Amino acid sequence: MAALTRLLRASATPSSNCLFSTVVRRGISSLSSEADRKPPSSPPVGPLPLRKDQKERNVQWVFLGCPGVGKGTYAGRLSRLLGVPHIATGDLVREELSSSGSLADELSGIVNQGKLVSDEIIISLLSKRLEEGETKGESGFILDGFPRTLRQAEILEGVTDIDLVINLNLPEDVLLKKCLGRRICGHCGGNFNVACIDIKGENGKPGIYMAPLLPPPECASKLITRADDTEEVVKERLRIYNEMTRPVEEFYRRRGKLLEFDLPGGITESWPKLLRALNLVDHDSKQSAAA
């Protein structure tokens, strides 16, 4: 336990990804009790000035949000903007599924029913990904799809300092339509969406319009739909999100790390608003000017 405690303390320092991945793996068996949680410390999160220690190291952010909300899209954009890896546990699971490893059969049954993979398997895939990143000199991260259970959140909180958790929100009928409209190009891996969302505003609530994100002609004939993006499975994933992942929002809210972000529409409207909420508008304009 002393060695673990030493590692835990060290894992909160700037160049700690190596320790982080080691400890994440150890943490699964050691860190699950209420007593191991750090007490809430920071004030509630609003539009964010970057914290001082964030200026000295790369960001360690988490994206939360229901299936189909757009975590991958916005996490990917922020990762390119900030120069940190975007690590999506759903992608790690799909990579494993497409391999011929022994885990693939076990995983396909779980994923195709919309269930969650066990904490142990997810932690092991995540640790492997972090270790690979370390050898390439990566630092910082934007996690997408992890943590998804309270236990995963407790383990993560125990081993490293998460700066910010961005919780993306959309109404459930929009989420369902977006999931059913998702397509991936089997050749280049590009993500598209054939759904056109046009929800009228009601009772003072604004409407939501999201234009389809159509593929270029060279991808149009190669589109595939994820096996877990059927109506029945998406509804089950939403149910499981509400049961298993909603408590994770509260976990971070109590620690003052949760930034709620209601998506106002498609990427064109949402991206600038997200940059403003994250106080990154200057960052984006400097990068655009340099490009």
3-state helix, strand, coil in the chain (%, to 5): 50, 15, 35
* From 78-86, 146-154, 197-205, 206-214, span contacting ligand ADP (CB under 6 A): 146-154
Binding string, 98-117, against ligand ADP, x = CB under 6 A? ------------xx--xxxx
Alpha-carbon Rg of the chain, whole angstroms?
19
For position 122 contacting ligand ADP by CB under 6 A, the verdict is yes
Instruction: Candidates 142-150, 169-177, 201-209, 250-258: pick the segment binding ligand ADP (CB under 6 A).
Output: 142-150
Q: What is the Cα–Cα distance from 240 to 232, expressed in whole angstroms?
A: 13
**Of the residues 151, 226, 235, 253, which is catalytic?**
226
4 binds ligand ADP (CB under 6 A): no
- Tell the smallest beta-carbon distance from residue 111 to ligand ADP (Å): 4
Known catalytic membership, residue 80: no
140 vs 163, 231, 247, CA distance in Å? Answer: 10, 36, 25
Cα–chain center distance at 273: 18
Q: Which of 71, 77, 255, 257 is catalytic?
A: 71
Nearest to ligand ADP of 191, 287 (CB atom): 191
Cβ atoms of 144 and 89 within 8 Å: the answer is yes
Residue whose CB is less far from ligand ADP, 32 or 54: 32
Q: How far apart are CA 50 and CA 180, in angstroms?
A: 37
Q: What residues act catalytically?
A: 71, 148, 182, 226, 237
